[in-house]
Amino acid sequence: MAELRSRLWAAQAGPLTVDSGEMCRFAMYLGPPIKLSALVTEPSNSIIHQSYDAQEREEPLNGDGFGVAWYVPELRDEPAVFKSISPAWNNANLLNLAPVTRSHCLLAHVRAASPGLAVAQVNCHPFVRERFAFMHNGSVGGFARLRRRLRERLSDLAYDAIAGSTDSEHVLALLSDRWLEALEPDPLERAALALRETIELLEHLRAELDIEEPSYLNLAITDGAAAMVCRYVSPGPDPAHSLYYARGALVVEDGKSRIDAPKSDGPAVVVASEPLGDRSRWEAVPRNHLVLIDDQRRVNLREI
């Protein structure tokens, strides 16, 4: 009967309810204000260029939507967010917004859904919850199987906030519940604690259901002032997805971006799936490590 049922339902072509952020690229900037164009549209080695020519992936294609978020604290605590299911490299609105948008905290994400999966604006990163912006590159191993159990663990608040069908938004839901429940007063420590508990829960569910596929959790979350970044893969032989960070000044010259030594207006911290320009100033985030960036842009690495 179970088989009959799945045969019965399996026939529908089109959007499945499970979606993954596996084949994505992201970048986050915190520092002296820069234009969005310096991060996403001007440099030929930007995240957008990576969207059709990523170097460190087998499938060099991220044409299934993108999103950018940025903070304008004098006007609103919540970040602005702009998302689209059209490919980033041909979005006229993005090309027009990027040069007139300036911020000290910017996020950008390009997304590649697997062929056959649903492409919808609600599934594009970054996801915003109040003053937080969040994005994910990777996938929750066996998400289709553990999704329902995962949802049962959520508070009504986090449950109701899920608007799309990505595993990523479910990870954010777990994370926000843990964050709201944690007693730790320091915000970054609280985030680190919440993330650790989130990963533990996900691994617990994987174990419970004998799921073999590893989870890949390259995450970035910020409130516009501080940020936490994570590079994680489940225990086993599989390598984590690539993730790098750099500290200095993000400079764009002759259509290329690079990291220079910090300038007088203070250092910036940039995190990206692949180095933006010359690798010499970029460091790989070690496997299963957190990067904690405080509101002075001091960087702290820590094993998860």
H or E element that contains 69: strand 66-70
The answer to whether the peptide bond before residue 126 is cis (omega within 30 degrees of 0) is: yes
Burial class (CB in 10 A: 0-12, 13-18, 19+), 33: middle
Among 39, 118, 199, 259, binds its own copies (CB under 8 A): 118
Q: Which is nearer to its own copies, 65 or 243 (CB)?
A: 65
Residues 28-67 interacting with its own copies (rule: CB under 8 A): 35, 52, 60-61, 63-64
Q: Contacting its own copies (CB under 8 A), which of 75, 210, 254, 303?
A: 75
Paired tokens of 59: 């499938």
Q: Between residue 127 and residue 186, which ones bind its own copies under the rule CB under 8 A?
A: 128-131, 144, 147-148, 151, 155-157, 159-165, 180
- CB of residue 189 vs its own copies: minimum separation in angstroms? 19
Tally of CA atoms within 13 A in the half-sphere of 67 that contains its CB: 24
In the complex with its own copies, the residue whose CB is nearer, 157 or 301, is 157
Q: Is 124 a catalytic residue?
A: no
Tokens matching residue 178:
């843990």
Q: At a CB cut-off of 8 Å and minimum separation 6, what does 294 contact?
A: 188, 226, 300
Return the range that interacts with its own copies (CB under 8 A); candidates 22-30, 90-98, 211-219, 234-242: 90-98
Candidate ranges 108-116, 185-193, 260-268, 294-302; the one touching its own copies (CB under 8 A): 108-116
Angle CA 264–270–273, to nearest 5: 160
Tell me whether residue 118 or residue 240 sits nearer to its own copies (CB atom). 118
The backbone torsions φ and ψ at residue 128, rounded to the nearest 5 degrees and listed phi first, read -115, 135
Positions in 208-237 near its own copies (CB under 8 A)? none
Tokens in use for 61?
């294609």
Name the minimum Å distance from CB 278 to its own copies.
23
Q: Which residues are annotated as catalytic?
A: 24
